[in-house]
Amino acid sequence: MNNGKRGDSSTTTEQLIKPVAQLNFKDASTPQELQTGEQVYKAVCAAYHASGAAGAPKFGDASAWAPRLGQGYDGLMASVLKGKGAMPARGG
């Protein structure tokens, strides 16, 4: 009989969703650790913007960034918040 469950009854929710997600619980009462812009860039953005992968403008390449800068601050923020091309919303 198919009860809609994958695997045996000892399979945990974390094991079931691991291929697409991972649970990462944090104590909300601990102080928040803010990252510098450089740390965020290295962790999230550099994989694309350092190499130009998936059409991302390379860091420091003024000619590649010119069309985006021409949209103004609001245009750049919209791209960051909503995503653009292969870049997901909020940069991933």
Secondary structure of residue 84 in the 3-state scheme: strand
DSSP per position, 26-60: --TTSPP-PPPHHHHIIIIIHHHHTTTGGGPPPTT
Q: Does residue 44 sit within a domain?
A: yes
Q: Does residue 72 sit within a domain?
A: yes
Domain that holds residue 78: 34-91
Q: What is the mean pLDDT of residues 82-88?
A: 87
Number of domains in the chain: 1
pLDDT of 51 reads 92
For the segment 46-72, what is each residue's pLDDT rounded down to a tens digit? 999 999 998 899 999 999 999 989 999
What percent of the chain shows pLDDT beyond 70? 79
pLDDT of 22 reads 64
Q: Picking from 29-38, 46-55, 64-73, 77-86, which range would have the lowest pLDDT averaged per residue?
A: 29-38
